[in-house]
Structure 1
């Protein structure tokens, strides 16, 4: 079912006609013509039942004896088909904040995740007649899509393999969540404007272990950088000593110097120099 425009005319014209009919009814009663007066009153009442007032960013969907006639979106007072059943639909932009969901990421680690979905109704007929309750439908489908997206990625990527992770690629994950939500909610005539993660954390039972893993990964990465820098510095020092002819170094001395430089640079504590002042003999 798709939304269509309903027939309508200016509501103030309907008010003028209603007043004219009521005046005619009063005149008929005064002229002792009760049947004519009653007919005028019935016609005026039927006409009045077709007058509606539409607020800004609201819509009224109308059905006549079970048949969908159309939707009025324009704000103001209008005269439409009388004796219709009208259902209000808000066209305003709204937010849905999901609860914190506990799901397993692609590696099986339990994580807590939540999101906010910004949406609005763009097709009142689908929202009212294709689903029971479109607001509840948005809530359930949003949580379902969030669970599905969360299970496709790891919480964090500890390897430099270029893969996506929930923590490291929040923008990409949000874009995929919005795309999947739009597919799921199109049946309800809802447009997804934006979807964002609002909460992401390891579940309580593994949070401490995962924190230790992150700290270990950071230490290993930092040590790797330090070792790479230390090797480069040692190589540069030996090459400069040989190039400037400061001292002659055989292979054994080179090994000893490299060892001393690496220990001094890589060590967590400051190196304690031992000064050799020469031999007594």
Structure 2
């Protein structure tokens, strides 16, 4: 089912026709009363029936709104432009909003790519672009959007890990929210095209580990942060020790053999890397 334009005329022209028919009906009845002219009576009654039919053909379309028309079960067309119109009488009209709609999904419990249970929720921004599909191709387009959004969110969440701890994956849910949101938008657009809906944006609004593994994963993240910090400290300590030994050697301050050099490296590394302040030991030489 696709959109097609509904036959319509300006509503004020319809009002003018309604007034003229009303005047004709009154004149016909009056002439019958005065002269008992049955022809004029029949014309007056017909004008009254036409007035009733015209009255059922008036419709008002609000901005960012569409009306879908059917006549005795047959689809006739759609009016999407705001205004006051006269259309085919006795039609059934269904109003569809063309405004942008925000939908916040419930928090879903799913397994990520690594099998970790996570909680995830998304916000979906969409609008109806084909009102005929929204009315006739699905039972309830808003309910269809809600159901398919949750299905698409589950599918996308299972394709990526929560976090890229070991740099094994290019994309993770926590670190690449924009890329995941774009993928979710594409997935939902394929699912909701049937309902005549356009997905404007889809983004993750809530992401967390499930309560049963949250504490363990927090410890894992803390351990990773500690290891990263220790690596920075060790790399800096190595550079400092190398610089100190090279400077002593270049300026000839002291001659160090391999054993003393190794001892000096050990002492400097312990002093720099240690979390607690080291106590200096002053070498005063040999006392006889």
The corresponding residue for 1:251 is 258
Aligned equivalent of 1:119: 126
**Structure 2: how far apart are the matches of 1:69 and 1:239?**
90
Report the Cα offset of residue 197 of structure 1. Answer: 0.8
SS for the counterpart of 2:160 is: coil
d(CA) in 1 for partners of 2:91 and 2:264?
A: 95
Deviation digits for residues 69-104 of structure 1 (CA, Å, limit 9, x no counterpart):
110011110011111111100000010000000001
Q: State the match for 1:208 in structure 2.
A: 215
TM-score, reference length from structure 1? 0.98
Partner of 2:61: 54
1:221 aligns with 2:228: yes
Q: How does 1:119-158 map to 2 (within 5 A)?
A: 119-158=126-165
The aligned residue for residue 36 of structure 2 is: none
Query: Is the deviation greater in 215-224 or in 188-197?
Result: 215-224
Superposed CA offset, 1:164-204 (max 9, x none) = 11101111001100110111111100000011111000101
TM-score normalised per structure 2: 0.95
* Residue 90 (structure 1) aligns with: 97
Provide the rounded CA distance (Å) in 1 between the counterparts of 2:152 and 2:274.
Answer: 49
**Distance apart, 1:162 and its partner CA:** 5.2
Aligned mates of 2:229, 2:168 — CA distance in 1: 18
> Partners of 2:128 and 2:267 in 1: how far apart?
71
Q: 2:49 aligns with which of 42, 50, 54?
A: 42
Give 3-state SS (helix, strand or coil) of 2:151's partner.
helix
1:5-51 deviation digits (Å, cap 9, x = unpaired):
11111000000000110111111111114322211110111112111
Tell me the C-alpha RMSD between the 2 structures. 1.0
Whole-angstrom distance in 2 between the partners of 1:257 and 1:15: 103
Cα distance in 2 for residues equivalent to 1:133 and 1:160: 43
Matched, 1:79 2:108: no
2:164 alignment partner, SS class = coil
Deviations 1:137-157 (A, max 9, x none): 000000000000111111111
List structure 1 segments (4+ residues) > 3 angstroms apart after TM superposition. none
- How many residues end up aligned between the 2 structures? 281
Which ranges in structure 1 are unaligned for 5 or more consecutive residues?
A: none
